[in-house]
Amino acid sequence: MTSNDFSSARGTPRHDLELSSAATVSAGPGTGPAPADLLRRLRARGAADPVTHVERVPARAGVPAPWPSWAPTELRAAFTRRGVVAPWQHQAEAANLAYEGQHVIVATGTASGKSLAYQLPALATLLADPRATVLYLAPTKALAADQLRAVAALELEGVRPACYDGDTPRAEREWIRRHSRFVLTNPDMLHHGILPGHAQWSGFLRRLAYVVIDECHTYRGVFGSHVAHVLRRLRRQCARFGATPVFVLASATSGDPATAAGRLTGLPVTAVTEDASPRGGVTFALWEPPLLPPDSGTTPPDPFSVPAQGSGDHDDLRQVRRSALRETADLLADTVAEGVRTLAFVRSRKGAEVVAANARRALDDAVPGLGDRVAAYRGGYLREERRELERALLHGDLLGLASTNALELGVDLVGLDAVLICGYPGTRASLWQQAGRAGRSGQEALAVLVARDDPLDTYLVHHPEAIFGAPVEATVLDPANPYVLAPQLACAAVEAPLTPADLALFGEGAKEAIDELVAAGALRQRPTGWYWRHRERPEVDLRGEGGAPVAVVEASTGRLLGTVDGGSAHFLLHPGAVYLHQGVSYVVDQLDLADGCALVHTEEPDWSTHARDVTDLSVVSVRSYVDAGPVGMFLGEVDVTSQVVSYQRRRIATGEVIDTRPLDLPTRELRTVAVWFTLSPQSLTLAGVQSADVPGALHAAEHAAIGLLPLMATCDRWDIGGLSTALHPDTEAPTVFVYDGHPGGAGFAERAYGTAAAWLRATRDAIAECGCETGCPSCVQSPKCGNGNNPLSKPDAIRVLDVVLTNLPD
């Protein structure tokens, strides 16, 4: 049985770094070359042109609107002092709807001023009613802190804005509960702190006028489904205190935002989608790292390549293209050298550290000390580190920052000139959100998507119409997911006994979930409702990250370095793993999963570590299927069992495998939703696939199908897993499975099933159009394959997909 998909790249010597004088003397934005000139310089530094397409997004003039008549004079004056002379048309439209009591979502582009759309009615209400309160929810602490700065800068008397999150000192929390009228927090704190302590928050909730949900397009999949029920619990508590707040949501451009917002809040929501804000022009380049020379098998591997989370990346198969991490690091160094303030988005925490370290090294080699102008930014840093990095970038002390998507959202990074995107971020919504971080003051900007050696990235850089000519995806979430609904109902029962009237609030499946909780002994039914039976609250992980964060602690000093989410700890913090933090290398001595702690020591080993896992899958039930003769397409529930069983140590300088060391880590079990297709052995034989080649054909088709699914669903390949086998015991046929990587499913498999023909057609085209002969990371190799990308058969994968597409109805 072949399991998969839950990269290291061989680099080439870096081209010489050319420094402009601006890099050594200037810290301010806009001092470097114009975007088009900068792109020409970047393209000219390699032997071959890496740019496959340049899209010019033209500048746009804004359409202003008058201030609403209900906006107080002092509020208008405060905005005017901050440079806002008048609202744009979409801001005024959304603000008017909210002030009139309608739930509204404003879904417009990055830097379109969505914050004014909710600040205007919320602050006007606070000024008119000295008892009213506002609750603001952001998906990240950085965004909430940024919004706090913006609201506080208006200096409005009596508003008293304050952040209430995990970083808030306990001494301040009581003051915030009693006195703040504009509380900024996140769904996690609402779930863990405010709602369980609703009695202490009763005064605030009783007077709650607005709930602002910023960047709501991020609430997708399991996380979005959990947040949907947290919001229902909030509405339930507000109703108990006699409040019916207006919900105002802000989102990046997305497909059908009103429906998504309605599913998230459980309320009818009006959408405002026409963007009337001015926009500077953007030069958007698609950048494919160069092919390595034919003798690159003897070239030392890129010492800064990073295997992805959960990877058992290939051992003997050569990388075809230069590492996207290495390419992004070089581009970051080049733009900083040009005096261009640049933000590089990198998919993983480790990758962000690697890009920053490599860029710093290149800059220091050219001008000692210039590397200090570059840093990494990611989740897991301590609060003080994050705030200092944000301040340094905003004030120009830093010229370059390599960040995870922690800075994707609406943090106001004024003055950025360029954005580098290392690998397609999974959705067009995220791609445009990240690209929009530059050019915020109306100036011209440069955005570069650096393709990874990956089927989807390769497909996109050669099919620009899939990026620039396609609509943005709709947000996928499923509040009826029983693995989400039941724990959330348990949390609600702790806060107040559930009643029959609550069933409609929590929606489809609520009664069945309550019955299961009663049967399990978690709830007791009484004439007045359902009561929580236990002393402890239920433990519910909103973000579906596999448990509580694991603290990374330096053993010799007891210093907390940072945290890693529980789902990644087996791969990143196993005993012997190399862990990077702000460019410093540590080796893990001990991982205590029970206590959520990993002990590490500083060490600079000449080897890297690569965890390996094994996966098994069984079919639980079938929800729906299509009988297409020799082909069957299915949607249903599956049980997935996985375990990290070993790790390899590889010499950094040569890529040589030093040894493979066993690990004794617990097995993880996942019940989720999968889409799968079966083929008859006879159809494969007729298509020219020999029996011995069936495992490799299915494995290659599975890899490519996982890589291309983000074209159809709001996911990336790290949200999904897969398995292929020449004879599965449950289907009794050659089978390829693709499953959601979250308990109960996240809606991605359903989307794949509903668009199966289009999804698999794009998969087939991506494989067939790739110029390699036997398969490469651009088509059928996977960066997270648990079997070392073996076996794989590219030509037979095309034959397999031809059989499926020939028989499967459109």
pLDDT band of 265, cuts 50, 70, 90 = very high
Distance CA 642, CA 230 (A): 30
Regarding predicted confidence, which is higher, 128 or 468?
Answer: 128
Per-residue pLDDT at 317: 37
Q: How many CB atoms lie within 10 A of CB 660?
A: 13
Q: Is 4 helix (H, G, I), strand (E, B) or coil?
A: strand
Say which residue the tokens 């602490």 belong to: 141
Of residues 194 and 23, the one with the higher pLDDT is 194
- Whether the pLDDT of residue 696 is over 90: the answer is yes
- 511 sits in which H/E element: helix 510-519
Surface-to-core class of residue 307, CB atoms within 10 Å of its CB (0-12 exposed, 13-18 middle, 19+ buried): buried
pLDDT tops 70 at residue 750? yes
Structure confidence by residue, pLDDT tens digits, 712-747:
877 767 778 999 999 999 999 999 999 998 878 878
Confidence check: pLDDT of 271 > 60: yes
The tens digit of pLDDT for each residue in 68-110 reads: 999 999 999 999 999 899 999 999 999 999 999 999 999 988 7
Q: How far apart (Å, rounded) are the C-alpha atoms in residues 736 and 449?
A: 31
CB 471 within 8 A of CB 253: no
Whether a cis peptide bond, with omega within 30° of 0, leads into 791 is: yes
- The vertex-151 CA angle with 150 and 152, nearest 5°, equals 95
Tokens of 43: 């393209």
Tell me which of 295-299, 317-321, 605-609 is least confident. 295-299
Q: What is the pTM of this model?
A: 0.73
Are 98 and 269 a contacting pair, CB within 8 Å? no
The region of weakest confidence among 207-216, 403-412, 415-424, 650-659 is: 403-412
Asked if pLDDT for residue 303 goes beyond 70, the answer is no
Short-list 72, 476, 94, 86, CA closest to 248: 94
Helix 257-265 to helix 221-240 angle, to the nearest 10 degrees?
60
Residues above pLDDT 90, as percent of the chain: 56
Q: Give the model's pLDDT for residue 31.
A: 56
424 near 37, Cβ under 8 Å?
Answer: no
Q: Between 748 and 499, whose confidence is greater?
A: 499
Burial class (CB in 10 A: 0-12, 13-18, 19+), 525: middle
Residues 419 and 153: beta-carbon distance below 8 Å: no
Q: What band does 457 get if pLDDT is binned at 50, 70 and 90?
A: confident
Asked if residue 680 lies in contact with residue 733, where contact means CB atoms within 8 angstroms, the answer is yes
Q: Quick check: helix, strand or coil at residue 271?
A: strand
List phi, psi (to 5°) of 591: -120, 115
User: pLDDT tens digit string along 382-430?
Assistant: 777 877 887 887 778 889 999 887 665 655 555 688 999 999 887 787 8
Name the least confident of 421-430, 748-757, 774-783: 774-783
- The first and second tokens of residue 487, run together, are 């724990």
Distance CA 106, CA 538 (A): 35
Over residues 608-630, the mean pLDDT reads: 92
Task: Enumerate residues 6+ apart whose C-beta is below 8 A from 402.
Answer: 328, 329, 332, 344, 346, 352, 353, 355, 356, 359, 374, 375, 376, 377
Compute the mean pLDDT over every residue in the chain, rounded to the nearest whole number: 86
Contacts of 311 (CB under 8 A, 6+ apart): 7, 571, 610, 611, 783, 784, 785
Q: Which of 244, 161, 247 is nearest to 206 (CA)?
A: 244
Per-residue pLDDT at 25 exceeds 50: no
Is residue 29 over pLDDT 60? no
Look up residue 723 and give its two tokens.
Answer: 């398995």
Which residue has better confidence, 220 or 421? 421
Q: What is the pLDDT of residue 14?
A: 39
Count of CB atoms within 10 A of residue 545's CB? 17
Strand 657-662 versus strand 584-592 pairing type: unpaired
Q: Is the pLDDT of residue 649 over 80?
A: yes
Instruction: Give φ, ψ of 698 to 5 degrees.
Output: -65, -40
Whether the per-residue pLDDT at 24 is higher than 70: the answer is no
The residue among 601, 645, 782 whose CA lies nearest residue 700 is 782
pLDDT digit string (tens) for 467-499? 887 777 777 778 888 878 999 999 999 999 999
CB 545 within 8 A of CB 565: yes
- On whether the CB atoms of residues 525 and 518 are closer than 8 A, the answer is yes
Residue 549 confidence (pLDDT): 79
Per-residue pLDDT of 347-364, as tens digits, reads 887 888 889 999 999 999
**How far apart, in Å, do the first and last CA atoms of the chain sit?**
30
- For residue 308, what pLDDT is reported? 36
What is the per-residue pLDDT across 538-578, written as a single tens digit (0 to 9) for each?
888 787 655 677 889 999 999 888 788 777 788 889 999 99
Given phi > 0 = left and psi -120 to 50 = alpha, else beta, which region is 423? left
Amino acid at 245: P
**Greatest CA separation for the chain:** 79
**H helix or E strand, kind and range, residue 226:** helix 221-240
| The pLDDT of residue 320 | 58
Q: Which pLDDT value is given to residue 27?
A: 39
Nearest to 483 by CA among 504, 456, 509: 509
514 pLDDT more than 90? yes
Cα distances (angstroms) measured from residue 135 to each of 129, 154, 177, 184, 297: 15, 18, 12, 6, 57
Calculate the CA dihedral of residues 31, 34, 40, 43 and round it to 10 degrees: 60
Note the pLDDT of residue 632.
97
* Bridge partner list, 270: 104
The arithmetic mean of pLDDT across residues 227-237, rounded, is 97
pLDDT given at position 388:
84
DSSP code string of 732-761:
SS-EEEEEESSTT--SHHHHHHHTHHHHHH
Report residue 434's pLDDT band, with 50, 70 and 90 as the boundaries.
confident
**Alpha-carbon 79 to chain mean position:** 33
* Mean pLDDT calculated for residue range 243-266: 91
pLDDT band at 694 (very low <50, low <70, confident <90, very high): very high
pLDDT band at 380 (very low <50, low <70, confident <90, very high): low
Contact 804, 677 (CB under 8 A): yes
Q: Which residue has the tokens 């200096």?
A: 155
